[in-house]
Amino acid sequence: MNWLFAFSGNRGLSPHTLWHHCGMRRFFLIFVSLQLVLFGIELTQPVQQHLVLPWTTLLAQACVAIVTLFDTHAAAIGKVLWNPANGFGVSIEPGCNGVEACIILFAAIIAFPSTWKHRAWGLGLGFVAVQLLNVIRVISLFYLGQWNASAFRIAHEFLWQGLIMLDVLVVWLLWVRSSPNASPPQIDRGDTAAA
Amino acid sequence: MKHLLSWTPPTSLWVFFASAIVWFLLVTPLWMQVSKWTSYPTATLTRVVLQNAAGYWVRSVHTTSESIEVETRIEVALPDNVKRERGTAELVAEADPAHYAYGLPLFVALLLASRSPHLLKRALAGYLILLIPQTFSLTFEILRQITVAGGRPGVLHIDQWQIEGIALGYQVGSLLLPTLAPVALWLWFDRAFFAIVVRDGWLRRDGISPESPPP
């Protein structure tokens, strides 16, 4: 028998109650506020100039370093990853450098109740997880663009946006599940009726 | 409670993650076939918003199944090679209503991956709710085009802070909302799934098997 039945059935706590136990309403408020603040900070000129642009350039160089392991036709100029042989290049623009995805993840991690040590782990590992997938995104788009413009457009505008967000979601869920100071609420036999 | 008892959630987060990717990759091409129709209400809502909120700029709005075209009262200078008598033209802003609507297949994929109960009802409700952030994104895309082409605040008859606000709205509408809105909505609709995932982790951490019978 699935454990859900055991805990939400005749002896358990309903998922709805657990949702409230986690303080999800409070979470959403803090999450949205943090998100807007972090996003606003990211858009400021000094942050763009001294943090986002250098990071994007580094990302392009990292992509080139990986691509040149199996393909010599790749180079980076600033935030552009390009193929000197055919002149095709992809410019890593806002939304494609993983910064916004990290902002969403960071806001979600900070907003959820946990210890700061656990949050720090989540921020560090989450950043790595998002950026690793983003490197795959950039490299895949680099090759898709050289192969087929339509496939590039679909992958760039629709597919990869959703896949990066799924990555953020799962990293966050894994992090929430490993929260050290959270504890399952006491099982209340009367809870089922209220659910 | 009845639906929860008949609901079998994915066995692990990894199964959920893999399912979500597969469903997303399957649903997105299907959505692309119908996106011009599913996004038509977004164009209609955007027309209503623009005509009411930016009536000074907007002369008329034309919506089709594939585009929204906004004729404005903003005069822009023509390049020398196309200048005729006056040397100016009125700006026309254009956008694809489906461009920011790819959150719908993501939302449906999440519902399918979490084996959400009341799938059709939730998918329909989600579709209707997601029209709101999509309208936000499309509206600010049009406003961005107007402000970028219109140039100085004096020409546009707005203050600098309003231009900054449009820039921020556009960034939020293009970079955050299209993917965040469907995930947040799914999390709200399927909060039982979230609660189960969290509780599963907590129980395992405390050395209690979620599968084990109650004490």
Tell whether A184 is covered by a domain: no
- Compute the nearest-CA separation of A164 from chain B (Å): 9
With an 8 Å Cβ cutoff, is A33 touching chain B?
no
| Angstrom distance (rounded) from CA B161 to CA B213 | 61
CB contacts, 8 Å: B99 with chain A: 157
Most B CBs within 10 Å: which of A20, A177, A189, as the mutation test of the B interface?
A: A177
Residue A186 pLDDT exceeds 50 = no
Tell me which residues of chain B, numbers 147 to 206, contact chain A at a CB-CB cutoff of 8 Å.
Answer: 167-168, 171-172, 174-176, 178-180, 183-184, 191-203, 205-206
* Residue of B1, B99, B176 lying closest to A100 (CB–CB): B176
Could you tell me which chain B residue has the CA closest to the CA of A194? B1
* A194 confidence band (pLDDT: 50, 70, 90): very low
With beta carbons less than 8 A apart as the criterion, state whether B109 and B24 touch. yes
Least confident of A34-48, A86-100, A172-186: A172-186
The full 3-state SS of A130-179, as one line of letters, equals HHHHHHHHHHHHHHHHHHCHHHHHHHHHHHHHHHHHHHHHHHHHHHHHCC
What does the pLDDT read at residue B73? 83
With beta carbons less than 8 A apart as the criterion, state whether A101 and A168 touch. yes
Domain that holds residue A61: 14-178
Q: Kindly report, residue by residue over B80-128, the tens digit of the pLDDT.
A: 666 556 566 678 889 999 999 999 999 999 999 998 888 999 999 999 9
Tell whether A171 is covered by a domain: yes
Sequence ranges of the domains in chain B: 2-203
End-to-end Cα distance, chain B: 22
Global pTM value: 0.83
| Angstrom distance (rounded) from CA A170 to CA B202 | 16
The full 3-state SS of B19-63, as one line of letters, equals HHHHHHHHHHHHHHHHHHHHCHHHHHHHHHHHHHHCCCCEEEEEE
| Angstrom distance (rounded) from CA B72 to CA B146 | 8
Instruction: Return the closest-CA partner of residue A56 out of A81, A73, A38.
Output: A81
Tell me which residues of chain B, numbers 22 to 41, contact chain A at a CB-CB cutoff of 8 Å.
Answer: 24-25, 28, 32
Our separate counts of H helices and E strands in chain B read 9, 3
pLDDT top residue among B164 and B201: B164
Tally of structural domains, chain A: 1
B171/A43 touch (CB, cutoff 8 Å), yes or no: yes
> Which H/E stretch holds residue A24?
helix A24-43
Instruction: Return the closest-CA partner of residue A35 out of B185, B17, B181.
Output: B181
A170/B172 touch (CB, cutoff 8 Å), yes or no: no
Q: Which residues pair with residue B61 across a beta bridge? A: B70
Most A CBs within 10 Å: which of B6, B12, B179, as the mutation test of the A interface?
A: B179
| Angstrom distance (rounded) from CA A156 to CA B81 | 34
Compute CA distances A98 → A50, A145, A161, B169, whole Å.
16, 19, 10, 19
Tell whether A83 is covered by a domain: yes
Tell whether A136 is covered by a domain: yes
What does the pLDDT read at residue B215? 43
pLDDT (average), residues B159-185 = 90
Of chain A, the percentage scoring pLDDT greater than 90 comes to 50
| Angstrom distance (rounded) from CA A38 to CA B110 | 26
A4/B196 touch (CB, cutoff 8 Å), yes or no: yes
What does the pLDDT read at residue A103? 94
Most A CBs within 10 Å: which of B100, B144, B198, as the mutation test of the A interface?
A: B198
| Angstrom distance (rounded) from CA A169 to CA A22 | 17
What does the pLDDT read at residue A188? 39
In sequence order, which residues have a C-beta less than 8 Å from that of residue A180 and are 6 or more positions away? A114, A115, A117, A118, B205
Instruction: Return the closest-CA partner of residue B37 out of B125, B100, B93, B98.
Output: B98
With an 8 Å Cβ cutoff, is A99 touching chain B?
no
With an 8 Å Cβ cutoff, is A77 touching chain B?
no
Q: Which residues pair with residue B71 across a beta bridge? A: B60, B92
- Compute the nearest-CA separation of B64 from chain A (Å): 21
